[in-house]
Amino acid sequence: MKSIKYIMQLLYVYCIIGLLVIAFSCTSSFDDLNTNPDTTNKVTPAMLASGLILDNVKSAYDINSELLCKRIFQGERVYEIQYNRLGKDNFDRIRNLTNAQKMVELASGSEKDAYLGLYYYLKGWAFYRTTIYMGDIPYSEALQIDAFRYPKYDEQKDVFKGILEDLEKADYYFSNASSFSGDPFYDGDPRKWRKATNVLRLKVLMALQKRADDTSELQIKEKFAQIVLEGNIFEGNEDNLQVVYSDKSGQQNPLHYDNMKWVDANAGTSTIIDPLKKLKDYRLFYYFSPMQALTDPLYLPDGETLLNKNDWNAYQGLDAAGVFNDEQKKVANKMSCRLNEVYRSSYVGVPSIRLGFADMNFVLAEAAERGWISGSARTYYERGIRASFDFVRSTVPSEYNQGMNITDDYIDQYLKEDGVAYAISGTSLDRLKQIWLQAYLASFLHLAWDSYCDYRRTGYPELPINPETNMNDDKYKMPMRWLYPESETNYNKEQLLIAVDRQWDGVESVNKLMWILK
């Protein structure tokens, strides 16, 4: 960026124009984005809120996230991120906050508190996602564009302190707010936004888990426990912050053939399929289609026996770290598990979750297992699994589940199975690994990048690393961060170099550990 000041000013103009285009062109289920032709074209806080919220929630889905966390193998061509090459990130999330500031400036009357709550939620989100990807970033001076042309990089600890304060403000304003206009997901209900804010606060605090015992000023455990005690968090899947797709233009499932022509080259990997098979987990049949070569007579190789589509043997994952040409041949020969037909041929598809009830319960289960809160880790763990199964069976029509219906009785039995039943007699690490695995299985095609960030913190589930195919500089490791933007090297180099020197003795690399991971 030529400086955060310059770009923010320039992008503000473009963003306003873009948001007006969105507001007048969408005919989606996000009805709040539509504009009455009889009303003024003047930019309103509702218009700005609509675009900001939409951008935030739509970030729930990113196929690159699935490639990096090894749940999907892309067999059309080599994607470098699939083989662990991370490049430079950007500060777009921070720059977009200029619209959030304008939204608050334009707000008045009974909606003011709600827009303030939304502003601090979006601010907390933007800085949180930016810092967990790169490390130290501009925070205290980043939005003061008139005062600081070359904003300094704050230490990550201080960035997180600011994020937690921002989200606490969001909680406060939402708690006092009335309903507001321009919200395509929660219909302007501040109670639901307050819950989403507090779920985000829990995730931010858990991201700080490695520093919980040596950074007392952040009160990580204490704040986590207080949020849970106050109870303003998700109570069921109906509270999920998620994108619901439809068959209308502009709102369709992004994985549909019409939107992703190469969708059939996406195949499930052994990293996710093997544990689903081992646990006899019916989500396998809802996530993936069986291998055509073994279930479709048209493709059946000579000497092979035709299998039913609900036969566990009809599902085999690709090696996420395998040699590309070898794995690509399996895709070409129909010996891979494509995404379930609901993702590929249904315009409605499956909603994409940005913040979810199931994931929240796995965070709570980990907190309880670590002694941060007094609740039962087992109860939260089982509640998270039930929530995931309930979501899957309620969003995937029966014609897509290969005849393997998820029933209440099945879920009850699943929770008793070896490897699933909470290992009370095992070690704490054994139980944490169960929680992390279930969170990984439940977040398939949801919560973009969260599984990768959780892996960096926990090292689990173990992701395959093949030194022969790994494009990371260290052939035996997964990368730990994205590099700082090229624009910062060009236009804010002095402050960037100070930050790199402070964190890593002047050497920037994707393999360097940021403060939250040390």
Question: Distance from CA of residue 330 to its chain's centroid?
Answer: 29
Decide whether 1-229+463-518 matches 234-448 in CATH topology: yes
Task: Dig out the tokens for 386 from the structure.
Answer: 């039930």
Give the span between the Cα atoms of 272 and 399, in whole angstroms: 23
In what helix (H) or strand (E) does residue 341 lie, and over which residues does it extend?
helix 341-345
Q: What is the pLDDT of residues 72-103, one digit of tens each?
A: 999 999 999 999 999 999 999 999 999 999 99
pLDDT at 115: 98
Give the span between the Cα atoms of 194 and 441, in whole angstroms: 27
Give the span between the Cα atoms of 2 and 165, in whole angstroms: 29
H helices present in 208-314, as ranges: 220-230, 270-278, 283-287, 292-295
**For range 179-190, the mean pLDDT:** 97
* Per-state percent for the chain, helix, strand, coil, to nearest 5: 55, 5, 45
pLDDT > 70: percent of the chain: 92
pLDDT at 329: 97
Provide CB contacts within 8 A for 491, sequence distance 6+.
1, 2, 3, 6
Helices 428-442 and 450-458: angle between axes, nearest 10 degrees: 160
Question: Distance from CA of residue 73 to its chain's centroid?
Answer: 18
Give the span between the Cα atoms of 415 and 203, in whole angstroms: 25
Give the span between the Cα atoms of 296 and 288, in whole angstroms: 15
**Is 1-229+463-518 a domain of CATH 1.25.40.390?**
yes
Q: What integer best gives the mean pLDDT of the chain? A: 92
Q: 């977009």: which residue's tokens? A: 96
Q: 């858990």: which residue's tokens? A: 206
Helices 4-25 and 45-58: angle between axes, nearest 10 degrees: 100
Question: Distance from CA of residue 365 to its chain's centroid?
Answer: 19
* Lowest mean pLDDT segment, chosen from 25-29, 189-193, 204-208, 316-320: 25-29
Give the span between the Cα atoms of 295 and 305, in whole angstroms: 9
Give the span between the Cα atoms of 206 and 322, in whole angstroms: 32
**pLDDT band at residue 259 using 50, 70 and 90 as cut-offs:** very high
Give the span between the Cα atoms of 197 and 123, in whole angstroms: 11
**For range 172-186, the mean pLDDT:** 97
C-alpha triplet 122, 128, 133: angle, nearest 5°: 130
**pLDDT band at residue 41 using 50, 70 and 90 as cut-offs:** low
Of residues 318, 131, 138, 357, the one with CA closest to residue 234: 357
Task: Dig out the tokens for 244 from the structure.
Answer: 């619901």
Domain ranges of the chain: 1-229+463-518, 234-448
Does the model's pTM come out above 0.85?
yes
pLDDT above 70: residue 138: yes
Give the span between the Cα atoms of 293 and 279, in whole angstroms: 24
One-letter identity of residue 61? Y
Q: What is the pLDDT of residues 369-420, one digit of tens each?
A: 999 999 999 999 999 999 999 999 999 999 999 999 999 999 999 999 999 9
Give the span between the Cα atoms of 30 and 251, in whole angstroms: 8
Which class would CATH give 234-448?
mainly alpha
Provide CB contacts within 8 A for 21, sequence distance 6+.
none
Please tell me the total number of residues recorded for the chain in this structure. 518
Task: Dig out the tokens for 166 from the structure.
Answer: 């921002």
pLDDT at 146: 85
Rg (CA), the chain: 23
Q: Check residue 109 and report its DSSP letter.
A: G
**For range 283-307, the mean pLDDT:** 95
Q: What is the pLDDT of residues 425-439, one digit of tens each?
A: 889 999 999 999 999
**For range 280-305, the mean pLDDT:** 96
C-alpha triplet 410, 415, 418: angle, nearest 5°: 115
Give the span between the Cα atoms of 65 and 81, in whole angstroms: 9
Give the span between the Cα atoms of 463 and 68, in whole angstroms: 9
